[in-house]
Structure 1
Amino acid sequence: MITHTDIKSAYDRIKTSGTVRKSPLEYSSYLSNLTGAEVYLKCDHLQPTGSFKVRGATNKLLMLSNEDKARGVVTASSGNHGMATALGASKLGIQATIYVPENASGTKLDGIKAMGATVIKVPGDCLLAEKTARDVARETQKPYISPYNDEDVIMGQGTVGVEIHDDCPDVSAVFASVGGGGLIGGTGLYLKGIGSNTEIIGAWPEVAQSMNLCLEKGEIYEPTEQETLSDGTAGGVEEGALTFPICQTVLDKRLTVTEDEIRHAMRLIADKERWMIEGAAGVAVAAFLKTATQFQGKKVAIILCGRNITLEKFLSAVS
């Protein structure tokens, strides 16, 4: 099991990488006045790739042997993880190949290519792109960089917890959206590991809550999901995912929010904080707003996990 010491080591490793920033923990006057809580926004949407994913990918890449770095790396992602791997690899002089589904957004693919990675389209969906990438990695003996099912990646994502604790050691609760579970799992492991009493609260869209339903059932399976604004958290959980038992251990509360609640949260952050955030970040804000009365007089951190949404999609969501 990953320890808080492992995560602190990951933090010390990535903070000098030139790829990952210590993101600000910004006090929100508006949300604090609105709810009676003392609300802080953990601004990982301000990372160079627009997402927290750069933490885990960078830590994994830094921990590769020289031989593995020379071989190059492989992953599958048309979004935040793909951009994170591409940027981290380019900084280290590692060739990265990113497999993407054929219907991947052209804007996101342009972003990945601009960071120096090779992009290969797979005629199929995200699952087929991932299977193809894993097969190629195995056949070519190149490291596969998982978006969440890897201890080194989870350690990197958990460095969010290090920064939150450094800036606000008496925070009562941390809210984060949950996809594969690396962000909330790593953050929770760190905060619990150092003896913090901080509540770890995971949030999902009602229409796409695979990890939540797996946790309810006590086993990994493939629940049906519908389309959601929170595309960054959508998708199933890998069989044998390391994050599943971690989430079982560290999550104190699990919440779901509607698409309208996500839209409202995205609009609120744009209007009051002047930031355009993606749906996954909106999920965490919406979950806090839904339960804000429970945190009056307490310090709360909400992780804004990403900003990678097109202007057209954002305007359509919040209009």
Structure 2
Amino acid sequence: MLELADVREAVAPVSEVARHTPLERSYTFSSMTDADVHLKLENAQRTGSFKVRGAANRVRRLTETEREAGVVTASAGNHAQGVALAATRAGVDAAVVMPETAPISKVKATRSYGAEVVLHGIDYDEAQARAHEIETDEGRTYVHAFDDETVMAGQGTIGVEIMEDLPAVDTVVVPVGGGGLISGIATAVKGIAPDVRVVGVQAEGASSVADSLRKGRVTEVEQVDTIADGIAVRGVGERTFPVIRERVDEVVTVSDAEIANALVLVLERGKTLVEGAGAVPLAALLTGSFVYEDGETIVPVLSGGNVDLNLLTTVIMRGLVDQGRYVKIRTVLKDRPGALDTLLNVLTDERANIYAIRHDRTNRDVALNAAEVELDLETRGEEHVEGLLERLREEGYDVDVLV
């Protein structure tokens, strides 16, 4: 099993490619949670994710024959970029298979770091199958995204940095997909300070670990469905699972709505951009998914910041809806002069800011002398939304909330 010595041995090769990332106390999230919250900002890492650490450690340990043949891997995006950069730095040819659904920003970034990108399959597992075919056909060395002890050791250097920078830490909160990150961090943290708690967090739509822990063996979910694409894998690794079972204190799950809310909060209040997987630990902390004491020193590992801009737009809007700061409504007006103006006066009185209006007389679901109106509104919270809807209904409007 992976040990602290393996992680310490990885520090030097990892430092040749990756940087020691900041660990910053967050006054905002400390106040919101009554804990002492310090954010480990792996979104500030080269390639925008922790994945470059494990890739650097693995590529550094290739034999000369393996270096000449090149490497291949499969990834939804972050591991792809890490392998591409680490291989390019080492002068090693890299081929990367990414799912056809991978964010275009991550595909472009992987190519920019020097790798050949092959798009194949609907998810990580199908991309991985194609990568293994290339491994066999071309004699390349496969660099696993998580189920490799050398990769796990590289990711564990995050734990070494946390313990160096904040020896008084009580709890480290880590996102979990295949388990490489949390296996490495837990090995480092528990090896240095056995009493420090390590909590893993999965997205509800990709939560294989909890079931695996219950059954005592690795199990897979039939499909994954989450905005946290960086941890959207069907099952935990065969090598990572024993480490999780032995060294991780607890594994919890969070919903996509909770992830979106955390992403919006860390962007707006923390001025920090993270992807869905990077927001997962903070989502667990904010929702009380695990128990902690007031004043407890907690380090959420914000594992990456490579969020696709299209997805970011969706996530931000989802977060604003959940916070009651954006609402879309529909109502029907009499098709006569002044009807729309009367409605707008009500919205003005209630201090709702209008993003957009759609006015449709042609909808067959309304009377010939009526018009359907949809409005996108900026609001100031759930109470504001409830008050606005109550006022509209008091004024005689039949209102449907669309979003």
Q: Which has the larger radius of gyration?
A: 2
Q: How does 1:137-286 map to 2 (within 5 A)?
A: 137-237=135-235, 241-286=238-283
Map of 1:12 onto structure 2: 12
Q: Distance in 1 between matches of 2:229 and 2:100?
A: 16
Q: Match of 2:147, as an amino acid?
A: N
Q: Which amino acid aligns with 1:160?
A: I
Residue pairs, 1:82-121, within 5 angstroms: 82-121=80-119
TM-score, structure 2 as length reference: 0.75
Structure 2 unaligned blocks of 5 or more: 318-403
**Aligned CA distance change for structure 1 residues 304 and 125 (closer, same or farther; 3 Å):** closer
Distance 1:251 1:289 in 2: 20
- SS of residue paired to 1:256: strand
Looking at structure 2, the residues matched to 156 and 132 of structure 1 have their Cα atoms a distance apart, in angstroms, of: 25
Preserved contact between residue 35 and residue 293 of structure 1 (Cα < 8 Å): no
Letter of the structure 1 residue corresponding to residue 203 of structure 2: P
CA distance in 1, matches of 2:115, 2:209: 30
Deviation at 1:293, TM superposition (A): 6.5
| Cα distance, 1:79–1:185 mapped onto 2, change above 3 Å | same
Deviations 1:53-102 (A, max 9, x none): 11100100011112211211011124101011001111111100112233
Which amino acid is 1:60 matched to?
Answer: R
Give the TM-score, by structure 1 length. 0.94
Residue 125 of structure 1: how far off its partner (Å): 4.3
1:6-37 C-alpha deviation (Å, 9 max, x unpaired): 1011012211x1x2010000110111122221
Percent identity over paired residues: 35
3-state SS in 1 of match to 2:108: helix
Name 2:292's counterpart in structure 1: 294
Q: What letter corresponds to residue 70 of structure 2 in structure 1?
A: G
SS in 2 for 1:220: coil
Unaligned runs of at least 5 residues, structure 1:
none
| Cα RMSD, aligned residues only | 1.6
